[in-house]
Amino acid sequence: MQTDGIQIQDPMKASGNAQAVEAAIAASQQYLLSQQDDQGYWWAELESNVSITSEVVLLHKIWGTDASRPLKKIEQYLRSQQREHGGWELYFGDGGQLSVSIEAYMALKLLGVPEQDAALQRAKSFILERGGISQARIFTKLHLALIGCYEWRGIPSLPPWIMLLPEGFPFTIYEMSSWARGSTVPLLIVMDRKPVYPLNPSISLDELYLEGRESAQFDLPRNHDWTDIFVHLDGLFKFGEATNLIPLRDQGIKAAERWILERQEATGDWGGIIPAMLNSMLGLKALHYDVHDPIIARGLAAIDAFALETAEDYRIQPCISPIWDTGLVVRALAESGIASNHPALVKAGEWLLDKQILDYGDWVVKNPQGLPGGWAFEFDNRFYPDVDDTAVVVMALNEVTLADEQRKRAAIDRAIQWITTMQCRPGGWAAFDIDNDQDWLNWLPYGDLKAMIDPNTADVTARVLEMLGRCHHKISKQSLEQALAYLKAEQEPEGCWFGRWGVNYVYGTSGVLAALALIDPQGFRGEIEQAATWLVQSQT
């Protein structure tokens, strides 16, 4: 109905819409409750591109453990993920990505698919159209070098003595993000040893060199600017390798080995992420660990635990997310009307309490005043709790009523105290460390994925502020003002905020709005209105 240009919704229709919404909420609640594990948690698949699974094929071939895993099913998985253009995607709808496609092609050949296969022929055309192996990322080339399909001289050198740089030095391994650190330390060993593992049967990828393998230039790419200094340094490092003039080489290797062993979880994981797990296994392989060594057996079992198998295929998740999934589901159920003492929420809350990490992790190197009390993303990850998960779990626990409320409140208080000590100099919060922001690391030839650091971000900062608002917990006036000033400065001219840990701007913007609406809606009225307008305009 319309009166004087004003649209008025029919009361009967409005009532029907409300009933439909309520029915949808109830159905969603019942679905989520039906998905809860008997132990109390929720856990969904963490999807990824095919490179993770492809690299697992290579790892098992190198260790000789491929026959004891259903790797043949990976062929079907890889075939199902190939797109019409012949390549494989890094993310949905990206038109295909060169390095991911090379790794998938490699894996299929390792699984016995002949070069003449139609899928490989289409993939070969896709890869060559984009420059072939010579244009791939460093980590793809490194994996190929392990089986003789690329030359080690085309891989950046990492001197093992960086393990020995003292605390307080301008650069140590703790200036790398936690995920880069967990992957890099074992690669110090691999890049020093430069192994080439014989396979039976062996494979060749010479057909993927656009210029021909014999004409390939195994040089590091130059940008023709200041960053080329790293290429010159790499030349010095390679000269040291060739002349055996690497200072403290053996000590650095031993320190890297010790670091790897100290950080393996009882479950066999390293860092709770497949890249760190695979690289750690490669590092220990380069040190000639036996496949039956308990450390190796645990590592392989941990990788197996990240696998998903169906009747048709077999694939590997890059990480697993039970803490995150459980925290978000608890919040959704509680905020949609499920009673705070509902048995499902109580069971989930008690499970989350048991997962609080009370050990010191790598974060303490740059935050010695902090006391442990965070949560990680995965089932077990003692060394790498993160601020984002911890804030979500705190908000989830705040929504439930447990039999031992005193224990719950103590856990929340401890977690918030840990988070407050993790605030970075610019005023925001990062995921795993404080002040992990030396951006020059992203310009190293080795760091071509541009993910070498963990700076504070708007989305994680917003999560912390939302947690403080929901839990009615106060921090110092100075810390709060710094955090709000940081968010204000991070707003884009269009009104949005970038989200590093979700789907970019919609994710970041929604998170910041949730925080500002709780913390200071009047003081940030203009920013909130601009962001809301941007969200509406972005809807498709």
Residue numbers annotated as active site:
388
| Residue type at 58 in one-letter notation | L
What are the phi and psi torsion angles at 536 (to 5°)? -60, -45
SS3 427: coil
* Residue 35 near residue 42, CB atoms below 8 Å: yes
Task: Tell me how far apart the terminal alpha carbons of the chain are, to the nearest angstrom.
Answer: 26
Q: For residue 261, give the amino acid letter.
A: L
- Cis amide linkage into residue 201, ω under 30° from 0: yes
Instruction: Report how far residue 349's alpha carbon sits from residue 393's, in angstroms, rounded to the nearest whole number.
Output: 9
To 10 degrees, what angle do helices 477-490 and 504-519 make? Answer: 140
Q: Judge residue 390's burial from the number of C-beta atoms within 10 Å of its C-beta, 0-12 exposed, 13-18 middle, 19 or more buried.
A: buried
DSSP letter string, 133-187: GGGS-HHHHHHHHTTTSS-GGGSPP--GGGGGPPTTSS--GGGS-HHHHHHHHHH
CB–CB of 394/416 below 8 Å?
yes
Spatial CB neighbours of 445, under 8 Å, sequence gap ≥ 6: 138, 156, 220, 221, 230, 231, 234
In this structure, the number of other CB atoms found within 10 A of the CB of residue 434 comes to 20
Burial of 403 (0-12, 13-18, 19+ CB in 10 A): exposed
For residue 218, what are the CA distances in angstroms to 99, 141, 225?
16, 10, 20
H or E element at residue 535? helix 525-538
C-alpha dist (Å) from residue 35 to 379, 380, 394: 17, 21, 22
Q: State the Cα angle at 60 between 55 and 66, rounded to 5°.
A: 130
Residues 6+ apart with CB under 8 A from 50: 77, 78, 81, 88, 100, 103, 104, 107, 315
Nearest to 186 by CA among 286, 266, 105: 286
CA–CA distance, 204 with 149 (Å, rounded to integer): 6
271 token code pair: 């860092």
